[in-house]
Structure 1
Amino acid sequence: MKSYRLFLAIGTFFIISSCTGLRAVPEGDLLYTGAKVKIEDKDIARKEKKAIETEIKELLVPKPNKSILGLRPSLFFYNLAGDVKKEKGFRHWLKYKLGKEPVLFSKVDLDYNSDIIQNYIENIGYFNATTIADSTKNGKKAKAEYAITLRKQYKIKSITLPNDSTILSKEINKSMDKTLLKVGKPYNLQYIKNERTRIDIRLKEKGFFYFDENYIFFQVDSTVANHEVDLILKLKNEIPAIAQKQYRINNINIYPNFTINDTLKTSKDSVIVYKDFTIYDKERLFKPKIYDRALYFHKEDLYNRTNHNLSLNRLITLGTFKFVKNQFTTVEGKDGYLDANYYLTPLPRKSIRVEVLAKTNSANYNGSEINVNWSNRNTFRAAELLTISAFGGIEVQISGQNNGFNVYRFGGEANLIWPRFITPFRIESSSGFVPRTKLHLLYEKQIRKQLYNLNTFKSSFGYLWKENERKEHELKVTEITFVNSTNVTDLYNQQITDNESLAKVIEKQLIFGPTYSYTYTNTMLKQKKHTFYFKGSMDLSGNAAGLLMGANSSTEPKKILDVPFSQFIKIESDFRHYLNLGGELQLASRAIFGLGFAYGNSRELPFIKQFFIGGTNSIRAFRARSIGPGTFDGNIQNTGFLPDQSGDVKLELNTELRGKIYNFIKGAVFIDAGNIWLLNDNPLKPGSQFNGKFLEQLAIGTGVGLRFDFSFLILRTDLAFPLKYPSSKEFNSINLFDNSWQKNNLVFNLAIGYPF
């Protein structure tokens, strides 16, 4: 045993020594371990000093090898691979993918880095600053040190603008109400560059098509006062005359069937004049009205960049054109005017696509699906999109209480989308995204093996529109859903005997009414530290019908086509916050709240509209639909293979720390909490009613997971265990190394994509 321990200690010592990477350092050189930047001024605020030091460190080169607690795993793998002669294979991968060559001190140029520092600190107004570079050595390691004395920062005393009478100078002066430069604020070169860009953008909005920010420069006079500067905005002498003119729109020419080989020579029969547009469309592919909705320019309009970009964006988001290009050209003999030319290459009008999908859902089911989609991108010659799809698939539960009760789905779907609002009156949208009207039809047959079949018919008519890339709305004026069950097995009927609430699943359901949802997201801004996602929705059913038919009693509900219709209000919100902690490290959090209130013709929400919780995308330490409602334990009423608990109120909280482990492998540590409740008391489910002690009734779970990012899909595995059950006020005991505890508590989830 002693020999074994001695061997283990020696082995550990050699591994740690290897991880330090010093063995890879050539004789006569040193391993560069980074730079220390210290600002020595005492008069500068600590927070500002730290911010400047951090910025400077990011500018210095080269970057040292990354270390973890003094160890450098990348150097360990670099050494472990040895000499690699082939440019592929395992050893090449080990040396250059997992491993990194050592960054040597001989590659560090202290004078060069000093110049970088000096340039940076002068650019933020410290004109009298000094930098002293040095280095310290420790064995075979070396560190660079930079001592900086900033002294007093220069501030802006005055800003002088052009005072001539040209239109260009007048517009520059008008734009200064939004200037980024303020008298009394510190001098900052980046602000000056940003100000040039801002002025250029403003001038583009005022018709100066050929102007460029490089025609502007600021003269800086630092001799005017003690630690102050005068900024003098000037226009370059060599600025061309064309850049000093405002331009208006002349002709608007559209080529809707353009190819790269086109000569643009057109016959008279191909020309269509529609309002302010001249359209060269011999084949009459598109009705002219689509351009009136897509293009913001009209004849005699003053050119502006906003309408330029909005028009392009609308043409692209029509979804009909493969390529969209525009060109503005001066008009011979008509000074101050531009012709706007749009060259459009259409996508194939009709297409068919076959998709094979891998899928997962919150009920711990995984499976595959095949879709056959046929589409017509210009159905009525006004860029309408018609899609007709047929689908079929199977879902199985690999582990869990529904194992063996497979789900088979097949059906068809049709969608017709108009790239405009179809209403009795015309609605204009100022967004760069085309508003859409959508008609949707769906039939789906679901076969739950050994249990029942469900037939679902669904139709809806409504509108989708985006204010901008962050804000999106969807209003379904009406959505009609009819659900009917067939082939209910004796096995399922027996389960109903034990648990009456299961009868709701196979009840006939007729749901109709408007729905609305609003989505906001800025998660596409990857550089931001904080990003958000929010989706709020409202679902109203049977309100008008209930009013007309006098439905005010759930004991004798009114019927349509001999089916009682549902009457309820349902609201739900999904809020997510992503905190980027640097590199690949991110803290993702989510809060979901839902409330459904049945009234009039209904005593409770229809089953397909109720809330569920638990599963791979929810509380991962609990099987899907196995939590609640409230403190009620659904396993008491059934044999254990079919938990299907639902509720009228839902609260769910999740947080997950995500980080990169290696290349395409990412890891996560998470904690989830939540529950569902009923609004009305149900004697068959004691403890299920929502009350003031709802926070004590939260199910809580935690775990770890791996995410395998294969670019075309993300395969997710999570291993979780419960910390607290809804019926208990105490947290569970944890014994990770006990086999019995593992069997009763560990839950493995296999899913596709992130949970949120």
Structure 2
Amino acid sequence: MIKRIIYLLSLAVILNACSTTKYVPEGEKLYTGGTVKVNDKNISKGDAKAISAEMKTLIRPKPNAKLLGMRIKLWLYYKTKARKGFIQKFLSKYGEPPVYVSQVDLAKNSEIMTNRLQNESYFQASVSGDTIGKKKTASAVFTALPGPSYTIRNVTFPSATDNNLDTAIKGTQAGTLLKAGDKYNLDVIKSERIRIDTRLKDEGFFFFAPEQLIVKVDSTVDTHKVDLLVKIKETTPERAREIYTIRNIYVYPNYNLRDTSLKLDQAKPYRWYNIVDPRNTARPYLFANTVLLHPNDAYSRTTHNNSLNRFINLGPYRYVKNRFEDVTPDSPKLDVYYFLTPYKRKSLQAEIIGRTTSANYTGTQINLSWKNRNAFKGGELLTVTLFGSTDVQIGGQNNGFNVFQYGVQTSLSWPRLITPWRVSSSNAYIPRTVLTLGYTSVVRQKLYSLNSFTGSFGYQFKTNQHKLHELNLLEATFVKPRNITDLYRDSISNSNNRNPSLKHVIDPQFTLGPSYAYTYDNTTEDYRTNSIFFRGKVSLSNNLYGLITGADTLAGKEKKLFGTIFNQYAKVESEIRFFHKLSVGSKIATRLLVGVGLPYGNSTILPYNQQFFIGGPNSLRGFRPRSIGPGTVDPTPLSGNSFIADQSGDIKLEANIEFRQKLFSIVYGALFADAGNIWNAKPHQPGGTFGPNFLSQLAVDAGAGLRFDATILVLRADLGFPLMRPYTPAGGTRSISPSFKNAILNIAIGYPF
């Protein structure tokens, strides 16, 4: 069956573009599209080209789609019209019915184009249409006579008077979108009304609407110029002219749809708002960071929206419903109600994760998570996760050296900043304090076992939709080997071994210190031509304690904390991604990673869990994961070594560039190139230390890939070809021939960056 489908599709591709015309019935012609000619010598070539391109987008209907000049979808429609067999029925879903020239309404299309031109300053515009036919096909040709464009001469706003509404509108004039000298444009006028309404909503005009503004146009004032007068409609109701203030605020933390009574007699005041919670499901202070409106404040839509966003992201609540009630006695007042429907407080979730890597490892992880969404009635999220995972390799160089992990991770998140001083903010984002504790046991079969203990306490907060700050006042990691096999010990002590990092993997590790990370991300805004993602992080470990104790391992002054030798370092990481949209479905994506760790005092190398790695499906895709570096070190295992160690370093430099193009449906193609390497900050391996010739030590690869982007899930396949390795193997060269023999296939979920 598959062969038959491939045969039919191949046949479609080689068919002549005109082959579909033989199916066109008598008296009809296949519509091939429309063009727009601008026939006005007074219009500049640039304006004429822009008008022609814009008007062409308005022509309806669209002609049958083409691929490489062939109407394959139309051909499929004709060939599968009868839908007799299974294959025909399957292919019929991709067919497209013919579009005939008789379906093109010339008058209606001309009217739409004329209206658009008149709305864009060409008040005297006219458009006419005609068809040009051949034997079996025909096209539409429209001729546009735009006439002169009208520009804005003056813009007049209401004068500031005793009238609150006139004064408020006058106050918005500085930011107007209507500029003298610009072309008249109806869409800009509509946007200006919305802009003014947005400002007024933040100044208390609760019942005002954009439709209550009118912009009068006077085109008689000068040759091809207009004056604009912004004013309030006479029919605007009185309450739309009033500034409303807040009277009372009520919060219902345990609301459900069956509640029909407001139960105001059970309201308990707390600071500036009231809690209606007969079952005491939440502590009153929980909402101090979410109720941003205050009694006697003028209504502000921005403040109100920020409050709603905070309620939604608070954690315990599934739905948030809001209501304003006009309670005007002698002055305009509003009562505010927030109805919160909670999640189930406790939940248990099981999760199974499957993964694979180009190093031929196949992995599975099972997570069992218990959550309490309102642990102490203050919106606290308590999570306890038990997990176990396995990564195995069959038939590869690390066959038999499987990796097993199990452990527990706990976290407690408060929806506020717990600090000795009071911190307040009024944006749309809830700040959080997070405490985490965890234990992981890592077992690498036949080699070693490690116990890892982690903990942190810090803050997460956003200053706006793009900027995220993560400040950990304390991060602690303690890693200690549990079982080391003779095979691994022999590999470390083997005099022929060129990789002393094997010992570093099982060294005890103790880090203790703060960290700060900053993230800027506007890549979710699809309308941008250029978008950027940046993340920078600074980490410190035992810096002050190391200075106080005079730790200096090179001078024989190795110090301990809690009976354990501690790691001392400063580490900086940065990643920047830049995306440039070339057209719809086409973009250039780039990434630059720079990481520098400086061990000193009590350390001569970063602890293994803080070091950098390079290579793999999200890094250098022409090389296997963690197989490059440090520097010019050859990672190839020597005689007597039956496994490949992960290569690590204190310094990392990586750059990636990728061209992404939509091919069809959910399928995207990519061409990419990667370069990078890692190094040690201090001498540990010959050729592995960072130096002035670091650029000549970069590994380089290039390749192509496919992405199947179903929005909620992206499956990716990249074929990477190594071009340049950082080391020179015995009897070889740094350069590598780009052949399929050397290629690496990466199968992964999600984009590489």
Q: Which TM-score applies when normalising by structure 1?
A: 0.92
Distance across 1 between alignment mates of 2:45 and 2:652 = 46
Query: RMSD of aligned C-alpha atoms?
Result: 2.5
In the TM superposition, residue 335 of structure 1 has moved relative to its aligned partner by 2.9
In the TM superposition, residue 731 of structure 1 has moved relative to its aligned partner by 5.0
Aligned match of 2:322: 326
What SS does the aligned partner of 2:338 have? strand
Distance across 2 between alignment mates of 1:494 and 1:50 = 76
In the superposition, relative to structure 1, how do residues 332 and 220 fare at CA in structure 2: closer, same or farther (>3 Å)?
A: closer
CA deviation profile, 1:493-525 (whole Å, cap 9, x unmatched): 233222222110011000111111111111221
Distance across 2 between alignment mates of 1:630 and 1:38 = 62
In the superposition, relative to structure 1, how do residues 168 and 479 fare at CA in structure 2: closer, same or farther (>3 Å)?
A: same
- Aligned counterpart in structure 1 of residue 744 of structure 2, from 721, 744, 747: 747
Matched-pair contact (CA < 8 Å) for 1:24–1:102? no
In the TM superposition, residue 17 of structure 1 has moved relative to its aligned partner by 2.0
In the TM superposition, residue 366 of structure 1 has moved relative to its aligned partner by 3.7
Matched-pair contact (CA < 8 Å) for 1:719–1:748? yes
Which stretches in structure 2 are left out of the alignment for 5+ residues? 1-6
Is it true that 1:68 corresponds to 2:70 in the alignment? no
Aligned match of 2:485: 489
- Aligned counterpart in structure 2 of residue 257 of structure 1, from 247, 254, 268: 254
Equivalent runs, 1:233-312 vs 2, <5 Å? 233-266=230-263, 268=265, 270-312=266-308
In the TM superposition, residue 473 of structure 1 has moved relative to its aligned partner by 0.9
For 1:263, the aligned partner's letter is T
Matched-pair contact (CA < 8 Å) for 2:12–2:72? no
Matched-pair contact (CA < 8 Å) for 1:363–1:625? no
What SS does the aligned partner of 1:487 have? strand
What SS does the aligned partner of 2:484 have? coil
Matched-pair contact (CA < 8 Å) for 1:369–1:392? yes
- Aligned counterpart in structure 2 of residue 652 of structure 1, from 654, 657, 666: 654
- Aligned counterpart in structure 2 of residue 354 of structure 1, from 347, 350, 357: 350
Aligned match of 1:697: 697
In the TM superposition, residue 365 of structure 1 has moved relative to its aligned partner by 3.9
Aligned match of 2:609: 608
CA deviation profile, 1:657-682 (whole Å, cap 9, x unmatched): 23344434333222222112223334
Matched-pair contact (CA < 8 Å) for 2:351–2:368? yes
What SS does the aligned partner of 1:742 have? coil
In the superposition, relative to structure 1, how do residues 450 and 176 fare at CA in structure 2: closer, same or farther (>3 Å)?
A: same
Is it true that 1:584 corresponds to 2:581 in the alignment? no
Distance across 1 between alignment mates of 2:134 and 2:696 = 56
Aligned match of 1:466: 462
For 1:445, the aligned partner's letter is S
What SS does the aligned partner of 1:634 have? coil
Distance across 2 between alignment mates of 1:396 and 1:53 = 61
Is it true that 1:529 corresponds to 2:526 in the alignment? no
Distance across 1 between alignment mates of 2:404 and 2:18 = 53
- Aligned counterpart in structure 1 of residue 403 of structure 2, from 407, 422, 433: 407
In the TM superposition, residue 393 of structure 1 has moved relative to its aligned partner by 1.4
Matched-pair contact (CA < 8 Å) for 2:303–2:426? no
In the superposition, relative to structure 1, how do residues 21 and 461 fare at CA in structure 2: closer, same or farther (>3 Å)?
A: farther
What SS does the aligned partner of 1:59 have? coil
In the superposition, relative to structure 1, how do residues 260 and 546 fare at CA in structure 2: closer, same or farther (>3 Å)?
A: same
For 2:717, the aligned partner's letter is T
Matched-pair contact (CA < 8 Å) for 1:391–1:410? yes
Matched-pair contact (CA < 8 Å) for 1:400–1:623? no
In the TM superposition, residue 46 of structure 1 has moved relative to its aligned partner by 4.8
Aligned match of 1:210: 207
Aligned match of 1:738: none
Aligned match of 2:186: 189
In the superposition, relative to structure 1, how do residues 377 and 448 fare at CA in structure 2: closer, same or farther (>3 Å)?
A: same
- Aligned counterpart in structure 1 of residue 682 of structure 2, from 676, 680, 683: 680
Aligned match of 2:670: 668
Matched-pair contact (CA < 8 Å) for 1:33–1:142? yes
Aligned match of 2:3: none
Q: Decide which moves more: 275-284 or 432-441.
A: 275-284
Matched-pair contact (CA < 8 Å) for 1:718–1:750? yes
Is it true that 1:633 corresponds to 2:631 in the alignment? no
For 2:386, the aligned partner's letter is A
In the TM superposition, residue 74 of structure 1 has moved relative to its aligned partner by 2.1
Distance across 1 between alignment mates of 2:81 and 2:418 = 69
For 1:584, the aligned partner's letter is G
What SS does the aligned partner of 1:608 have? helix
CA deviation profile, 1:309-342 (whole Å, cap 9, x unmatched): 1111111110111111111111152430000111
In the superposition, relative to structure 1, how do residues 375 and 636 fare at CA in structure 2: closer, same or farther (>3 Å)?
A: closer
What SS does the aligned partner of 2:54 have? helix
In the TM superposition, residue 80 of structure 1 has moved relative to its aligned partner by 3.6
Distance across 2 between alignment mates of 1:405 and 1:45 = 72
In the superposition, relative to structure 1, how do residues 145 and 260 fare at CA in structure 2: closer, same or farther (>3 Å)?
A: same
Aligned match of 1:718: 718
Matched-pair contact (CA < 8 Å) for 1:20–1:73? no
Is it true that 1:448 corresponds to 2:444 in the alignment? yes
CA deviation profile, 1:227-284 (whole Å, cap 9, x unmatched): 100111122221111111110000111111111111225384x331112212111111
Distance across 2 between alignment mates of 1:399 and 1:165 = 85
Q: Which TM-score applies when normalising by structure 2?
A: 0.92
Distance across 2 between alignment mates of 1:20 and 1:576 = 47
For 1:221, the aligned partner's letter is D
In the TM superposition, residue 597 of structure 1 has moved relative to its aligned partner by 1.1
Aligned match of 1:569: 570
Distance across 2 between alignment mates of 1:213 and 1:614 = 56
Q: Decide which moves more: 521-530 or 345-354.
A: 521-530
Aligned length: 734
In the TM superposition, residue 165 of structure 1 has moved relative to its aligned partner by 3.9
Matched-pair contact (CA < 8 Å) for 1:21–1:102? no
Which stretches in structure 1 are left out of the alignment for 5+ residues? 1-7, 735-740
CA deviation profile, 1:677-700 (whole Å, cap 9, x unmatched): 223334x332x3323333332212
Distance across 1 between alignment mates of 2:157 and 2:542 = 65
Aligned match of 2:707: 707
- Aligned counterpart in structure 2 of residue 141 of structure 1, from 123, 137, 143: 137
Distance across 1 between alignment mates of 2:354 and 2:542 = 36
Aligned match of 2:386: 390
Distance across 2 between alignment mates of 1:105 and 1:228 = 40
Aligned match of 1:107: 103
In the superposition, relative to structure 1, how do residues 504 and 290 fare at CA in structure 2: closer, same or farther (>3 Å)?
A: same
Matched-pair contact (CA < 8 Å) for 1:136–1:143? yes
Distance across 1 between alignment mates of 2:106 and 2:692 = 65
The percentage of aligned residue pairs carrying the same residue is 44
Distance across 1 between alignment mates of 2:630 and 2:39 = 62
For 1:63, the aligned partner's letter is K
In the TM superposition, residue 90 of structure 1 has moved relative to its aligned partner by 5.1
For 1:330, the aligned partner's letter is D
In the superposition, relative to structure 1, how do residues 478 and 120 fare at CA in structure 2: closer, same or farther (>3 Å)?
A: same
In the superposition, relative to structure 1, how do residues 12 and 254 fare at CA in structure 2: closer, same or farther (>3 Å)?
A: closer
What SS does the aligned partner of 1:455 have? strand
What SS does the aligned partner of 1:597 have? strand
Equivalent runs, 1:729-744 vs 2, <5 Å? 731-734=735-738, 741-743=739-741
Matched-pair contact (CA < 8 Å) for 1:592–1:651? yes
In the superposition, relative to structure 1, how do residues 533 and 376 fare at CA in structure 2: closer, same or farther (>3 Å)?
A: same
Distance across 2 between alignment mates of 1:12 and 1:626 = 45
Aligned match of 1:173: 170
What SS does the aligned partner of 1:201 have? helix
Aligned match of 2:560: 559
In the TM superposition, residue 709 of structure 1 has moved relative to its aligned partner by 4.1
In the superposition, relative to structure 1, how do residues 267 and 256 fare at CA in structure 2: closer, same or farther (>3 Å)?
A: same
Distance across 1 between alignment mates of 2:388 and 2:468 = 30
